[in-house]
Structure 1
Amino acid sequence: MANTLLTTLGTSPYSETVYVFGERKADRTRYVAKALCQLFDIERVIVLLTQEAHDTHWKHLQDCLPPHVEKIAKAIPEGKTEAETWQIFDVLVDSIEANTRLLFDITHAFRSIPVLVLLGAGFLRKAKNVEIQGLYYGLYRPGQVETPIIDLTPAVRLLDWLTATDKFISTGSALELGQLLDTVQRDFYRQPKLGKRDPKPIRLQNFGQAIRNISRSLELVRPVSLLEDDLLRLQRYSTQELAEEVGQFAKPFGLLLQSIQDSYSQLALPADRATDAKAQVQKQFQLLRWYVEKRFTTQAILLAREWVISALCLCEGLPNYRQREARQEIEHQLGSLIPREDQPQAPPDIAAHVPDAQKLANLWSRLSQYRNDVAHVQMNPNPLNSEALESFVLQDLLPGLEELFPKLTWAEGKLEGDLSTSP
């Protein structure tokens, strides 16, 4: 796959200089594009330029670039209006084919083009699977023999942080943030000539893995793994040393570190109650509340149905609420709450644990129906519409459970409530 350079030219009479990148030097030239072709083995150069810039520089640039390099001129307006700005963006994006390896140069860019290049880089990565090799700027100063080429590639990654941050804030998922932390640490150790005494990130990868595990458990409704493993690992990695490392090597993440710790830690059990069945079920209700707040309708329905069974297991004095036989017995009793004219029977034992057995029957009936409807993904003649499912979760689910199980749906921050007597 050819390396492509996308650059710009204005109308200034550029001066000759020796462009330098790290320890490498290019031949003396007034066009940074020529230097970049030498330094980065470029095979195609795409130049954005106005008509005036084309008339001033295009022929001279063509003449100085290596013969094997493909040279492409793309006409752009001057960018004096919003409409022209979007025209420039369209030309930039349309000039690049999918799956290209691309370098950007903004040395001679003018007006809003540097911003458009940065945004275009982020867009091309996602929309066309373009591999961004680098974003560079030649820092020319009159009177200096050499001109350093500055690597601005981290600015492209800042867009990744922005996207991942938005996803965490809107959905609570830190999968992308965790991957970025992993990438930061891996990339750091790939840097050439890393000295033994140079500071190194050693905690970012583990913390990134921890928040990714939490996100996966949340997405796939794994409350046991979440409480017994994932959140404990998060607490273990949440140290002052981590905060200092984030500030040094992953600065954008520093603004989110406390928010992530607070968002996830609220779901964690205190260490001294990690094996307490009642505390576990109470925390699972808090997880259910989290799903509702984030509008995770499917996850909320799936968890709520199982939570009712767990709660009744505890009310029946069965602390091993995950045991299959115990859960089947509770399910059988819940089913018998729904009256049948052909088989009248006395209320089951579990009816004594709630203030209103009929409300429990109604809630269980709806939960069962909605859970089955979700699981069968509309593969039945009369599926429920999505609005009905969401309305139930957002409006009826939590109030209904809080009324039926007040001692297990505790006020935030408390893990109290004696289950030895009925509500």
Structure 2
Amino acid sequence: MGRKFLSFLGTTKYVPANYSFQAQKVDNVTFVQEALVQIFCKDWNKDDKICIFCTKDAQDKNWEDKDKSEKANFDKGLYSRLLSLNLRPNIEKVDIPEGKTEEEILAIFERVFNALKENDSITFDITHSFRSLPMLNLVVLNYAKFLKNIQIEGIYYGAFEVLGHPGGVEKNIPLEKRNAPIFDLTPYAELLEWSWAVSDFVKYGQTLRLKELVEEKTRPLLAETKGKNVSAKDLKTLAERLNELANNILCNRGYGITKQNNFNALIDNIQRTELIPPFKPLLEKIKTKTKDFRTDDVKNGFIAAKWCYEHGLIPQGITILQETIISLFCKGNELNIRDKRDREFISACLNVGDKPQIRLRDILEERKKEAEKIINTIPKEIPKLFRDLTGARNDINHGGFNKDARKYQKFYQQLNKFLQEAEKLF
């Protein structure tokens, strides 16, 4: 893994100024890159690299030292100025076209991408990214995050324009008062990661990306405060509980789904903080997705079965729906939802009218009076739904090898139908 500083050089005649970032300040530099590398690359080594992307015009005007060419803007170009800082990273100029056509934009994309190596750690200066380049840079960075596993350490912008037009600044503002801030735009790139992570959860019920991202962002805060940052703790707890819910559904852990806590209060607490302000609207998406789950409620299984249908987890949905019906009747008859014999007893009661196995028939005989009382209270539509669920579940468990095995499309249709029937009945 290497560290790289990436920046685009423009063609403007730049005006000397002083740039500051947090408590650090660099005085009297013509190019913002001079300030940025002194702030962010001062501890780098010879294995790291400073990459400056230049068009031919930018090279002539601002990269090379001044010669007899009328195109030159300064006596010393950016390259000489960077060398004079005696930093250890290698300095590399990367030629790019001007980006006036789609083909040239694609060429810029490829050259930025090719400058990135596997596992690189990237600091990006977008101060002089002209025309479509800011959007292009963001796309290529995220593209490389996936294909080359790069890490974005920071994205920065030297805001000279707060001082005014360069010509007016040079004439009217003395150098000691030309103080321009450097803005940290990294959180806005991170917002894309948050959006994708929440999208994974909302659209696909997947929580891994969200959990990893939350752990990455909260770990420094919790370490710094020795675990006492309440906002970071709440966000970490939310990610862990969402991950637990999703995995309980994925692995048919019905009791875990039943014992699920409501998410609303935890999300409300996080929304009242300033931990990650742009993340708040995304929290609303999570809240909407999880709002129907109740604390310690058997009926959470119906919500989970619907979740399964929405995310294509059809075998899980059929199993969870049937087991939830059993749990509901256990609860209604003051039986233990975790006792195997109680569950088999309720299953046998719900199978009346079908052809129960001998084992189930024995269970009914053993608890005959209790069974008769329960059976008499069951609406006739429920045993049919229960047996239909059993048939679908058995077909799934046998892997489609039975002669009358259903096509996979049929299971989607049937789960949807089962859910509609269950909603009416329960």
> What range is the shorter-chain TM-score in?
0.7 to 0.9
Identify the residue that residue 146 of structure 2 maps to in structure 1. 126
CA distance in 1, matches of 2:202, 2:96: 37
Specify which of 304, 310, 313 is matched with residue 296 of structure 1.
313
- Aligned pairs (5 A) from 1:4-403: 4-26=4-26, 28-41=28-41, 42=44, 43-59=48-64, 60-66=77-83, 68-140=88-160, 141=163, 142=169, 143=173, 144-145=175-176, 146-173=179-206, 176-177=209-210, 180=213, 183-188=216-221, 202-221=230-249, 222-228=253-259, 230-232=260-262, 234-239=263-268, 242-245=270-273, 248-269=274-295, 274=296, 280-311=297-328, 313=330, 317=333, 319-331=335-347, 339=355, 353-355=378-380, 360-373=386-399, 386-394=408-416, 396-401=417-422
Identify the residue that residue 417 of structure 1 maps to in structure 2. none
CA distance in 2, matches of 1:88, 1:399: 53
Structure 2 SS opposite 1:39? helix
Distance 1:205 1:382, change over 3 A: farther
Structure 2 SS opposite 1:7? strand
CA distance in 1, matches of 2:106, 2:130: 15
Q: Deviations over 1:355-381 (max 9, x none)?
A: 2556643431222222453xxxx8999
Q: What residue identity is the alignment partner of 2:35?
A: A
Conserved in 1, the CA contact under 8 Å of 2:11 and 2:62?
A: yes
Conserved in 2, the CA contact under 8 Å of 1:354 and 1:360?
A: no
Structure 2 SS opposite 1:157? helix
* 1:158 to partner: Cα distance: 1.4
Structure 2 SS opposite 1:65? helix
CA distance in 2, matches of 1:11, 1:381: 74
Distance 1:115 1:16, change over 3 A: same
Structure 2 SS opposite 1:120? helix
Q: Deviations over 1:253-295 (max 9, x none)?
A: 22133443343231104xxxx5xxxxx4333223322332344
Of the structure 1 ranges 322-331 and 8-17, higher mean CA displacement relative to structure 2 is found in 322-331
CA distance in 2, matches of 1:26, 1:383: 73
Conserved in 1, the CA contact under 8 Å of 2:24 and 2:39?
A: yes
* 1:20 to partner: Cα distance: 3.1
CA distance in 1, matches of 2:404, 2:117: 46
Distance 1:106 1:381, change over 3 A: farther
Conserved in 2, the CA contact under 8 Å of 1:337 and 1:361?
A: no
Conserved in 2, the CA contact under 8 Å of 1:102 and 1:132?
A: yes
Q: What residue identity is the alignment partner of 1:37?
A: V
Distance 1:178 1:46, change over 3 A: same
Q: What residue identity is the alignment partner of 1:366?
A: A
* 1:308 to partner: Cα distance: 4.1
Q: Deviations over 1:54-87 (max 9, x none)?
A: 2333333332323643232323232234443333
CA distance in 2, matches of 1:380, 1:212: 40
Identify the residue that residue 421 of structure 1 maps to in structure 2. none
Conserved in 2, the CA contact under 8 Å of 1:305 and 1:371?
A: no
CA distance in 2, matches of 1:169, 1:71: 44
Structure 2 SS opposite 1:135? strand
Identity score, percent: 25
Distance 1:265 1:51, change over 3 A: same
CA distance in 2, matches of 1:178, 1:65: 41
CA distance in 2, matches of 1:57, 1:160: 35
Conserved in 1, the CA contact under 8 Å of 2:222 and 2:233?
A: no
CA distance in 2, matches of 1:57, 1:225: 64
Conserved in 2, the CA contact under 8 Å of 1:302 and 1:371?
A: no
Conserved in 2, the CA contact under 8 Å of 1:168 and 1:174?
A: yes
Identify the residue that residue 415 of structure 1 maps to in structure 2. none
Q: What residue identity is the alignment partner of 2:266?
A: Y
Q: Deviations over 1:293-323 (max 9, x none)?
A: 34432431331242343345457x3521321
State the number of aligned residues: 374
Q: Deviations over 1:181-226 (max 9, x none)?
A: 55554445678xx9xxxxx952342244134313422333234334
* 1:177 to partner: Cα distance: 4.5
Conserved in 2, the CA contact under 8 Å of 1:305 and 1:368?
A: no
Structure 2 SS opposite 1:321? coil
Of the structure 1 ranges 15-24 and 152-161, higher mean CA displacement relative to structure 2 is found in 15-24
* 1:135 to partner: Cα distance: 0.9
* 1:130 to partner: Cα distance: 1.0
Q: Point out where structure 1 has 5 or more consecutive residues left out of the alignment.
A: 195-199, 275-279, 410-423
Conserved in 2, the CA contact under 8 Å of 1:181 and 1:208?
A: yes
Structure 2 SS opposite 1:319? coil
Conserved in 2, the CA contact under 8 Å of 1:139 and 1:149?
A: yes
Conserved in 2, the CA contact under 8 Å of 1:309 and 1:331?
A: yes
